[in-house]
Each structure stands twice: as C-alpha cells, then as structure tokens.
Structure 1
Amino acid sequence: MPHLMPNAGPQRVIAVSNFVYTVGSGLFLTAGVLYFTQAVHLPAGQVGLGLGIAGFVSLAAGIAVGHLADTHGARGVYATTLVVQALATAGFVLADSFWPFVLTVCTATGAKAAGLAARSPLIRHYGGDRPQEFRSYLRAVSNVGISFGALLAGWAVQVGTLTAYQLLVVGNAIAFAASAAVLVLLPPVTPAPTVGGPRWIALRDRPYLLITALDGIMAIQFKVLTVAIPLWLVTATTAPRWLVSGTMLINTVLVIAVQVRAGRSIDSPAAGGGAYRRSGLAFLVSCSLISLSAGIPTWAAATLLMTAVIIHTVGELWHSAAGFEVSFALAPQYATGQYLGVFGLGAGLAEALGPTLLISLCITWGRPGWYVVGALFALTGLAAPLAVRWAQRRQHARQPPPEAAWV
C-alpha cells in the first residue's frame, strides 16, 4: 500500500485514523463472538439474539448523527462516535450476563453506524474532486487494518484464556480511542449552509430510498463469504476445511489490490448503475459455481469454490464502487451526512437479516437456494440503473436556495 498513501494533509490523517480503527475492528470481527461464548460463557443463541437486536437498534443512529455532522461540524461529531464506541467496547469486559451484553453491544453498534455517517462529510470535503475514489481507497486501507487485527486476534483465540480474550477487548477499545485522537490533526470542517424545507429531506427522497433498498439487497453478498460459504464448504462439500481461510485471504488481497482501480473507472451515477448490473451478474455466476461444488471430488470442489470466490470478489468490487459513487453523487452537499446515514440503512438491514436468509436458502434448502440467491442479486442489479436514472431526474429538478435555513 505505500505507493497508494495519500500526500501529507487531511487525506492522510483520515487514512491513518481509519487504519487504526480497522485494526481494532479486525480484532472483534475475528474473535468477538468467541469472546462472549467461550470466555464470558453466554449461550450462542443469546449472543446471536443480542447482535440481531443491536443491528436493528443501530439503524436510526446513522441518520440522526449524520444530520448532526452536517449541521454542527463533522470532525467533532465523528470523534465523539469513536470515543463512545471505545467506551462501549471496553464495557464488554464487564458484560457477564445477557442484558449487560445487549446494552454494551447496542451502544457499540449504534456508535459504529453513527460514525460511518458522520465521517461522510469529511470524506466529501477532503476527498478532492473525486471523494468516491478516496472512499474506495479507504476501503482498501480497511482491509489491510482488518487483516492485521485478525492476526492479533488469532493469538487470543489460540491461548483461549479469559485474560487473553480480555486483552483483545481492551486492545480493541484502545484502537478506537487512538483513532479518535488522530483526528485532532484534522482541520475542522465548517458546516455546510442549510436549506429551507423539511428537516429530514433524505427520508422524503423516494428515488434515493429505492437505491438504498436495492443496495441493501445487494449488500447481502458480503455475508456470502463470511456465513454461507464456510457453512456450505464444511457441510456440503469434500473441500478441505482450511479453504475457509483461503477464500477469505483471496478476497482480502484482491480488495486491497484492486478496489482503488475499480473506483476510478466508475465516475458517474450512470457508470455506478452499470456497475450494479455487472456485479449482480457476477454474483449469479459465483452462486451457481458454489452450488455445483457439492457431491464432486475434493480437487474439483476446491477449484470451483476458489473460482467462485474470485468471481464473487470482482462483483464485490463493482458493487462497492457503485455504492460509493451513487451515494455521494446523488446526495446534496449540504446534507451529505444525513443522506449517507439513510444509505447505510440498506447495509444495516443486510447485516441483520442476511445471515438468516442465506442459511435458510443456501444451507437448509441446499443447491436450489444458491440459484435463488444468485437470481435475486442479478435482478437487483438489473433494476439499479433504472433507479439511478430516476434519482438523477429528481436531482436535476431539485435546486434549493443555498443560504436559507432549515426549518
């Protein structure tokens, strides 16, 4: 990544803060569930229920805090969400029963969703002429940070003691706090002029809401790699189990290497709509290959799964770049945080509902379920360009007075 590092200045500060944050995220993503089940000894069912509750509770946080970032300054609001997330994560050490667990994980998850929305005006302000491309770069940095965090988490999992897991949690909280501290080096952003009309304009923008819903359906693809493929590989194929790690490694390396380049080629809402369409077709092909990996020799199953993961990752790159493009380009600058908060609703619902949907279709139903999921992605991708054109027509018709005050 060194040749991709931004020049000294605000972009580098945001990138460093993001890297430190995602190292902490990698710790929890890899071993967070194991901490609560193996170290705290909460039943797996309670952990799953608590995480689901947290996912739904966090949905509204992004819109409200994104609006605060628009109207009161994004740097301070974003830093506050990181501090809240650090404190809530540290509280995991004291969460020794179900309801304290639910309280802390809801707070942490809500702060995470709020932070993503609050960071959006910073990306737009300091991202140069193409903030969407800078957002693609940050995604590549995120994958590097998560990889480092995953390696560190591996030590805690291997040791397996309560102390080791608690050190992991404390390290996670420290990373979030350090990420907030780095933002002191970032110049503050003056809130954009507000406009007349309803306060929650993003919730009234029906084309943008439709794109949010379509992106949310497409975002279920992120759970294919982390939920569906590992379960399918272990229960339905003869592929070696170590291939679960291999598929994740291939995905991570490709995202780090190619995401920025993919973002450069998608430089307009129309191009974003086309990328959605291509990603849906790529997911259809990859899901079909995964379904064919059952009931065949080990070498053939492994080959099909690896090929499917590569094709899936190409679709993921297109999907992510399309989301970055349309979410920024179709949002008015004075309400970036609010609009990006709304856009996060789709991914939030996919996070909450995606695992259950994929397990029901792909694992419980089996091979036919993979074709259903692939068709769902393909149809969503085909609908996206139509929604984007509708949103562009609305955007051209919307010309708010730049100096009016919100009422």
Structure 2
Amino acid sequence: MKKRFYATGLADAVGLGMYLSLSVLFFDKAVHLPNAQIGLVLGVAGITSLLGAMPIARAAERFGTRTMLTLLYLVRAAAFLALSVSTTFVAALLASAVAGLLSRGISPLIESGLIARAGNEEAVGSLARLRSLRNAGMAAGALPSGAAIAIGEAWAYQAVLALSAVLFLVCAAVCRTFDDSGHTAQGGVSRASVLRDRAFLRITALYGALTMSALVLGLGVPLWVVQETQAPAWTVTLVQVLNTALVVALQVRISKGSEDFGAARRMMRRGGLLSALAAVFVPLTAFGGAATDLALVVAAALLFSVGEMYVIAGTTGAALLHIPEGRKPAYLAAFNLGFAVTTVVGPPLITASVGLAGWGWLGWGVYFTAVGLVAMRVPAPPQADAKATHTIGAAA
C-alpha cells in the first residue's frame, strides 16, 4: 500500500513540476496574455489554493481518502486539459482557479493516507521519504518543460500540460486501489478542533515562518546573484540543483529522531540558526571577485538547504505529535497552509529586502535567529508531558 502512495506522490510531483517550470511562459507564448493578466491568473490560483485545503480535508474525513483523491485527480486532470487548450483570458483564469483550488488539498491527503496506521517514528520517516521523492519528481518534471521552452512553439507548451493531465489520470487510477479503512475521521472530535488547537497552530505558524528560508533561497539568492555579484549567471541553476540533490539525499537521515518532541524543537531551532548564518554569508559577496562570490553563494545555499531540512524535520515531527487520532487529513491540511501563506506574503518581502543591500540580509539573519529561538517555546503535547512525568517519577 505504501508503495502506491509513494508512486502517486511522485507522479503528482512530476506533473506539477512540468506546470510550474513553464506556467508563466505558457500564458505568454501559448495563451498570449499580457503581463498584467498573467499576474492576475497566477494570483487568483494562489488565492483559491488557500481556500480549498480545509474543505477538501474535511470531505476526506467524511467520505474517505480514496474517494476524495480519485475525484480530485479527475477534476485536476480536466482542469489541466482545459488549460492546455485555453486561448482566452477568461478560459485560462477559470481553469487555473479550479487547478489552484485543488493544489493545497491533494498533498495532505496523500500524506495522511501514507501514515494513517503508522506510529510517530514511522510516520516521520515515511513523510521524509515522500518529500525526497517529490523533490526528485519536481526536478524530473522540469525536463520536458525545458524541451518545450527550447522549441518555443505554442503546441509544445500545450503538449506538456496535456501530459501533466495524463499523469493526473494515472494518479486517479492508482488512488482507486487504495484501502479507505482507517482513513476516515473517528468520532468525538469537532471539525473545528484544529482551529482551536493553539499549540498546533503555533507549530503551523512556525513552519510557515521558518520555511521562508526556502523562498529566500529560491527567490532572494538568484536576484542577488544576477544583480549584485560577479558570480556567473549559471550559479542560479547550480543553487537549484544543489538544493534538490541535498533534499533527496539527506532529508530522511536528518529526520531521524524528530518523533521525540524535545529533539523536534531543537531541530527547528537549528534550522533557524543555520538559515540565519546563511543569510549573513550572502552580503559578503560585496568584498570578493567572481570566484569568491561563487564560493560564498554555494556556501550560503548549503546552509539554507540543510537548515530547511532541519526545519521540515522538526516542524513535521512536532506537528505529528499534536495530531489527535483520526484527524490527520484536517490537521495536515492546516499544517501545509503554513507554507502556503508564506508563498503569498514572502515574495514581496524578499524582493524588497534585496533592494536594501547588506542590511536586508542582516534583517533576515535576525529574523531567522528570533524565530528559531521562539521554536523552543512551543508547548509539548499532552502525551509527551505525561511521558516526562512518568520518567521523572521512575527516576525518583
């Protein structure tokens, strides 16, 4: 069963990687939209993605993971097929809005199905492996997109989106084979309980705040490289490849031990401090030549990447310990919204900070240090407190 969840997550990531790698150029070259309309289409898709996650999770708790995933993939495939043949702004807007509505709801269902019967230690490892596979899948999805961009014709962009739709149909077929037993909500917990769980919401907020480092690496560092350094332009691609390779190679290993709440909090702190150190490295490029700038950017990318993995491991481990039995879909959907909100508020903050030169990077250093230290104040779940009390009593 797990292999089928991994296969679904991988195929899903490849399909999304195809779209994300060429979406802007698709709207420009194939749909022929002006820049303002492209921004509006992408903005609406981002907003609908925030709106869809929790209702989808609640529906999955009622109707089952298998049923909802199958339906969602069928609708997503239809949305991508519609998008591939869109020739007007309205058609592209509607198809993108539907695709966006589903985008933040599917991943939590794959995750919750994968770990439905797993203990915390097994769940942490499973989610880490899934993330590694998804990163590899996103990278693989960029390959056909790169071919389409090289061809530069509308039909090539449309073919890539149609291929994404086919992959989502394959995902729907695989999801039909899932076993829904144990994947639906159990009684006794209100649907709104996740919104009243302050400790869990604090972890979610920290997840969003700390994963800002991924956006700083993906957006801020490339802008800095091309605008403010003497490093070669291909450094941007090197940074992306390095980040993907590290996540694929090390995420599972770094996640080990995060099922312990104390260790999870320390991982969050470590991730924040590593990100802060990386931010301080970046402005040092002002004092070097091309080779020195390249070395400093690579060093910063390494620190950001390792910090990101510690953040993911720590926040995921802490979040899993706070999830009540039978509520994984809703809680994981809420947890994933932490990063979703960051993708909305992060880009304008990051682009503005690049314009502040070294002071902007110093500000990010202070920010990640503060958030990393705040992570140590996250309250432990009741079972962790009980375990600590039991251990103290036994020692006495």
**TM surpasses 0.5:** yes
Counterpart among 128, 141, 150 of residue 142 in structure 2: 150
Counterpart among 305, 310, 313 of residue 305 in structure 2: 313
Alignment-derived partner of residue 331 in structure 2: 339
- Cα deviation digits, residues 147-194 of structure 1 (max 9, x gap): 211112110010010011111111111112212212233222344453
1:14 aligns with 2:5: yes
Preserved CA contact (<8 Å) 2:186 2:325: no
Quickly say closer, same or farther: Cα 1:48–1:295, change in 2 above 3 A: farther
Report which stretch shifted further, 158-167 or 33-42.
33-42
1:163 aligns with 2:155: yes
1:204 aligns with 2:196: yes
Preserved CA contact (<8 Å) 2:203 2:315: no
Preserved CA contact (<8 Å) 2:208 2:338: yes
Q: Which amino acid aligns with 2:133?
A: V
Q: Distance in 2 between matches of 1:394 and 1:63?
A: 26
Quickly say closer, same or farther: Cα 1:48–1:221, change in 2 above 3 A: farther
Q: Percent of pairs identical after alignment?
A: 29
Alignment-derived partner of residue 297 in structure 1: 289
1:36 aligns with 2:14: no
Instruction: Give, in angstroms, the shift of residue 309 of structure 1.
Output: 0.5
Quickly say closer, same or farther: Cα 1:196–1:186, change in 2 above 3 A: closer
Preserved CA contact (<8 Å) 1:117 1:337: yes
Q: Distance in 2 between matches of 1:213 and 1:91?
A: 35
- Cα deviation digits, residues 325-367 of structure 1 (max 9, x gap): 1222211122111111111221111111111110011x22222
Instruction: Give, in angstroms, the shift of residue 127 of structure 1.
Output: 4.4
Q: Distance in 2 between matches of 1:89 and 1:230?
A: 29
- Cα deviation digits, residues 16-60 of structure 1 (max 9, x gap): 111111111111121112111233222233323332232222223
Q: Which amino acid aligns with 2:200?
A: Y
Q: Which amino acid aligns with 1:305?
A: V
Quickly say closer, same or farther: Cα 1:71–1:302, change in 2 above 3 A: same
1:115 aligns with 2:100: no
Instruction: Give, in angstroms, the shift of residue 203 of structure 1.
Output: 0.6
Alignment-derived partner of residue 272 in structure 2: 280
Alignment-derived partner of residue 400 in structure 1: none
Alignment-derived partner of residue 67 in structure 2: 76
Instruction: Give, in angstroms, the shift of residue 93 of structure 1.
Output: 2.1
Preserved CA contact (<8 Å) 1:326 1:388: no
Alignment-derived partner of residue 359 in structure 2: 368
Report which stretch shifted further, 379-388 or 306-315.
379-388
Q: Distance in 2 between matches of 1:68 and 1:120?
A: 15
Instruction: Give, in angstroms, the shift of residue 226 of structure 1.
Output: 2.1
Report which stretch shifted further, 89-98 or 214-223.
89-98
Alignment-derived partner of residue 369 in structure 2: 378
Instruction: Give, in angstroms, the shift of residue 94 of structure 1.
Output: 3.5
Gaps of 5+ in 1: 1-9, 398-407
Q: Give the TM-score, by structure 2 length.
A: 0.92
Q: Distance in 2 between matches of 1:394 and 1:55?
A: 37
Instruction: Give, in angstroms, the shift of residue 64 of structure 1.
Output: 1.5
Alignment-derived partner of residue 184 in structure 1: 176
Quickly say closer, same or farther: Cα 1:141–1:108, change in 2 above 3 A: same
Q: Which amino acid aligns with 2:355?
A: T
The DSSP-based 3-state class of the residue aligned with 1:57 is helix
Report which stretch shifted further, 113-122 or 272-281.
113-122
Report which stretch shifted further, 377-386 or 45-54.
45-54
Q: Which amino acid aligns with 2:77?
A: A
Instruction: Give, in angstroms, the shift of residue 396 of structure 1.
Output: 6.5
Instruction: Give, in angstroms, the shift of residue 211 of structure 1.
Output: 1.5
Q: Distance in 1 between matches of 2:383 and 2:253?
A: 30
Q: Distance in 2 between matches of 1:58 and 1:26?
A: 17
1:175 aligns with 2:167: yes
The DSSP-based 3-state class of the residue aligned with 1:214 is helix
Q: Give the TM-score, by structure 1 length.
A: 0.89
Instruction: Give, in angstroms, the shift of residue 228 of structure 1.
Output: 1.1
Preserved CA contact (<8 Å) 2:267 2:314: yes
Alignment-derived partner of residue 226 in structure 1: 218
Q: Distance in 2 between matches of 1:60 and 1:372?
A: 31
- Cα deviation digits, residues 209-247 of structure 1 (max 9, x gap): 122112111122221222111111111111000111111
CA-based RMSD of the aligned residues comes to 1.9
Preserved CA contact (<8 Å) 2:80 2:164: yes
Aligned length: 385
The DSSP-based 3-state class of the residue aligned with 1:365 is coil
Quickly say closer, same or farther: Cα 1:27–1:56, change in 2 above 3 A: same
Quickly say closer, same or farther: Cα 1:119–1:54, change in 2 above 3 A: same
Quickly say closer, same or farther: Cα 1:18–1:199, change in 2 above 3 A: closer
Quickly say closer, same or farther: Cα 1:193–1:356, change in 2 above 3 A: closer
> Any runs of at least 4 consecutive aligned residues in structure 1 with deviations exceeding 6 A, and if so which?
394-397
Q: Distance in 2 between matches of 1:303 and 1:367?
A: 18
Q: Which amino acid aligns with 2:141?
A: G
